[in-house]
């Protein structure tokens, strides 16, 4: 088991790893849309989705993987009315074969962001 850590994604704000690699699989912790360079959270669900995917991409790159190798995602959204907007951004990042996905509406997320995304990828 290898701990994956990079300053190109937000630091963990609790007792967990940014990502873990085990047996050729990379498991990311949920990524909220915090810009790791500034600590800022962008306005709007589309900008937040792009930042969360950027954070995931940075973790996967650090692990020797990529967005193209994602096999499963879980998307937590604050408002299911944003589902279509998030889907549009999602489709920009995943082309060809889409990964399996779960998407659930939640009452509240850390730092009151609008979404959080986690991913599982092959190496």
What is the per-residue pLDDT across 55-100, written as a single tens digit (0 to 9) for each?
A: 999 999 999 999 999 999 999 999 999 999 999 999 999 988 999 9
CA distances from 103 to 2, 49, 65, 68 (A): 27, 13, 23, 19
Sign of the C-alpha dihedral computed for residues 56, 16, 35 and 78 taken in this order: positive
Q: What strands, in cross-sheet order, belong to the sheet with 100-105?
A: 2-4, 19-22, 25-28, 115-122, 70-77, 100-105
Please check whether residue 73 is in contact with residue 101, taking contact to mean a CB–CB distance below 8 angstroms.
yes
pLDDT for 96: 85
Q: Considering 46, 103, 109, 123, which one is annotated as catalytic?
A: 103
Range of the domain at 83: 2-122
Higher-scoring residue by pLDDT: 78, 14: 78
Average pLDDT, integer, range 12-41 = 96
Q: What is the CATH number of the domain that holds 19?
A: 3.30.1330.40
What domain count does the chain have?
Answer: 1
**22 is known as an active-site residue:** no
pLDDT computed for residue 82 by the predictor: 98
Interval 32-60: pLDDT, tens: 999 999 999 999 999 999 999 999 999 99
pLDDT greater than 90 at residue 117: yes
pLDDT at 15: 95
Share of the chain above pLDDT 70, in %: 100
């Amino acid at each position: 088991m290898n701990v994956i850590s990079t300053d190109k994604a937000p630091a963990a704000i609790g007792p967990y790893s940014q990502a873990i690699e085990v047996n050729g699989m990379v498991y990311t912790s949920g990524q909220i849309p915090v810009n790791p360079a500034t600590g800022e959270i962008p306005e709007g669900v589309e900008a937040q989705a792009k930042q969360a995917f950027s954070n995931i991409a940075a973790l996967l790159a650090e692990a020797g993987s990529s967005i193209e190798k994602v096999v499963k995602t879980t998307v937590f959204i604050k408002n299911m009315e944003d589902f279509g907007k998030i889907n549009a951004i999602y489709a920009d990042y995943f082309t060809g074969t889409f990964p399996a996905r779960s998407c659930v509406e939640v009452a509240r997320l850390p730092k009151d962001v609008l979404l959080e995304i986690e991913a599982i990828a092959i190496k």
